[in-house]
Amino acid sequence: MRWLAGLSGSLRVAVGMGCVLAAATGGAETLGADTLSADALSADTLSADTPVAGALGGPGTADTTVVLAPDSLPHATFAPGADPIAAAWGQALSAPPKRHSPEDRPWGVLRPWLRTNTTPSRTVFEKFPGNPVLPLGSKGSLDAGHAEYPSVVHVGDLLWMFYSAFGVHHRWEIAAAVSPDGVRWTKLGVVFSPDTTAAAWDSTTIAFPSVIYSTEAPPAERFCMWYAGKHGGRYEGIGLATSPDGRHWRREGQVLALGEHGEWDGTEIADPSVIAVPGGYRMYYCGSPDANRLYRVGVALSSDGRDWTKVSDNPVYAPETGLYTVDVISYDNGTPHDNGTPHDKGAPHDNEDSGFVLFVSSPNPHNEFEVHAVYSDDGLRFDNSARRLVLAPAGDNTWDHAVVYGMDVVPYGEQLYMWFNGLYTHVMTTRGGQVGLARSTYSKLGRLLDRP
């Protein structure tokens, strides 16, 4: 049996899946911005310190908005049979080992009580030798504190990453970066910020983007982003924003709310992972019934991406240990896409062998967060006893020593690429998560999950 995965997740991809999100008003409004030519501003000079795409889509934003001309961005060719990610990986294997900055280790050396990880380092996903591929910005930048929860989509001849940034603005915002090969990333700055209107449900924080890109969607809605927001101490809703270009975003409002008091998702909901399925969309999301910040996983269904209905059997995955972040891919017993480009995370074929793989970050007995995978035929019932370890913390006194989380798994031919977050310690510090890259194959994951 061969595995066919479609894209979804904490940065998700649905190339060729219609977003079916045409607004009643006739589409998103295009916000004004100054456009610079390739000669005026080179993408190679950009960093997190450059406000390339200011906070768009909400009132009260103060950033200067700059839109790059298309020919000023890096380019790569995702030609049939070519895999720029694999090529970059091969080059890294022949390069000298990457030296890690002392800032990757908040205390410089391990404290005696900070346990050295003993989880087997050999897991199904192999880590890129040059990690992290998206490090934190420099002091005073837009993502100096955190660069987390990546969502990666394939747009033309580039990969786009949307991620949660925390830095000089002292608030969580959505930033973007582009890459020709998934390894070398050019940061474009913040593209979507909290709605600072006092009564707004997302007035203080927006994070956990889940993005789908479709060339079949209306031009104003080629990018669709679901995200978590809050105006108090906890995430209390999932919102939707749409964009024609990944830089200018229009708020479409809150689309999923907290459950009733006492329900499994009555206190907090976060980290949506949206995939396209036959007849519409499926959202996997994290929820909590109390002050415990570790989550369970629920599912909501929608025909258009705006109106969502929670399934009656929620939560669909509720391990006793709890979990933190979630991602999902769908697959079927067919021939994997072989066109040499990243492909859909969603919409499995209608046959009896279709299924879903849920990826979750959850703690081991030593409070080190690991990434596990669990399979389900229908994506509505996941057996925790069947979960398997697929990515572990490094345990080597480097950037992902103790925690891995925030994963986004992107199928690419037979390969599975995972962009993920790593932390040196599970203890909160001023230096947060960075983005790394790992890879595996359908066949390796299938064997691990006992799929033929």
Instruction: Specify which residues 239 forms β-bridges with.
Output: 227, 254
More confident residue, 405 or 33: 405
The third-level CATH classification (topology) of the domain covering 34-448 is Tachylectin-2; Chain A (2.115.10)
Residue 81: predicted pLDDT: 57
**Residue 321 dihedral angles phi and psi, to the nearest 5°:** -75, -15
Mean pLDDT of the chain: 76
**pLDDT surpassing 50 at residue 120:** no
Instruction: Specify which residues 369 forms β-bridges with.
Output: 363, 403
Among the listed ranges 64-78, 203-217, 330-344, which one has the minimum average pLDDT value? 64-78
Whole-number percent of the chain with pLDDT over 90: 54
Residue 112: predicted pLDDT: 32
217-251 as b/e, with b when 16 or more CB fall inside 10 Å? bbebbbbbbbbbbbbeebbbbbbbbbbbbbbbbbb
User: What pTM does this model have?
Assistant: 0.80
Average pLDDT over residues 49-56: 30
Residue 412: predicted pLDDT: 83
**pLDDT surpassing 70 at residue 115:** no
In one letter, which amino acid is 155? Answer: V
Tally of CA atoms within 13 A in the half-sphere of 369 that contains its CB: 25
Average pLDDT over residues 227-238: 93
pLDDT tens per residue across span 368-384: 899 999 999 999 999 99
Residue 103: predicted pLDDT: 52
**pLDDT surpassing 70 at residue 1:** no
Average pLDDT over residues 389-403: 91
Average pLDDT over residues 415-438: 85
**pLDDT surpassing 90 at residue 149:** yes
**Residue 190 dihedral angles phi and psi, to the nearest 5°:** -75, 135
Residue 335: predicted pLDDT: 34
Query: Domain segments of the chain: what residues?
Result: 34-448
Please report, for residues 364, 397, 441, the alpha-carbon distance to residue 110 in angstroms, rounded to integers and kept in the order given. Answer: 19, 7, 34
